[in-house]
Structure formats: C-alpha cells, structure tokens
Amino acid sequence: MLGQLSEGFRKVTFFEKAVLVIGLATIAVGFYLIQQVFRIDQKLSWLMLIAIFSWLSLLILIIISSLNADVKEELSDVIRESANETRLLKEITHELLDEIRLLRKVFKK
C-alpha cells in the first residue's frame, strides 16, 4: 500500500534539499540575531526595521528560487511531452503522404 502511495510522488532533488536546509538556517539564524539585537536595544529603531525587512526579503528570495526550480522542472516535462507529440505527428504525416502517393499510383493506372 505504501509502495503504491509513494509512486504518485516525484523524487526530491538535491537543489530542493539544499534550499530547504538554507531556508531553515536563514530563518533560525536571522530570528536569533534580530532577537539578540532587540534585547540589547530594547526598542524598535530604524536599524532594527531595516534588519527585519532585509531578513524577510532574503526569505522571499529563497522561496522564489525554490518556486523557480519547480517551474523549470515542470516546463522540462511539458517540453519533453511536446517533443514526443511532434515526433508522432511527423510519423503520421509521413504515413499519410505515403498513402497519398499510393493512391495516386493506383488512380494513374
């Protein structure tokens, strides 16, 4: 039963694993450092707001890069399927041309 369930999922790539580890490390380290600065300063300053905004921007960039990798993988699947369909259409076209040639030969006689 688990074998059938796992067949429906795709394999996780190295890039996705690396992005997950880097993202979690960025979340933990960034949150810890911002918390330490807040403990020292005890107020919300402009420098603190800039640090928080930069940290959130970095997290958004990590998420976007992960989504970009997923889109790239999906597009490669679509391109591969499109190439196969084009190949099949080419074969069908050649078969139709052969049939037309045979029909012309039959009608000329």
Q: What would the pLDDT profile of 14-41 be if each residue is shown by its tens digit? A: 888 888 888 889 889 888 888 888 888 7
What are the backbone dihedrals phi and psi of residue 79, each rounded to the nearest 5 degrees, phi first? -65, -40
In a domain, residue 104? The reply is: yes
CA atoms within 13 A on the CB side of 84: 6
In a domain, residue 45? The reply is: yes
In a domain, residue 82? The reply is: yes
Name the residue with higher pLDDT: 22 or 88: 88
Q: Is 95 left (phi over 0), alpha (psi -120 to 50) or beta?
A: alpha
In a domain, residue 93? The reply is: yes
In a domain, residue 92? The reply is: yes
In a domain, residue 2? The reply is: no
Torsion of CA 94, 96, 101, 102, to 10 degrees: 120
CA angle (83, 89, 95) in 5-degree steps:
140
Containing structural domain, residue 16: 12-108
At 90 the pLDDT is 96
pTM of structure: 0.59
Contact 76, 40 (CB under 8 A): no
In a domain, residue 7? The reply is: no
Q: How many domains does the chain have?
A: 1
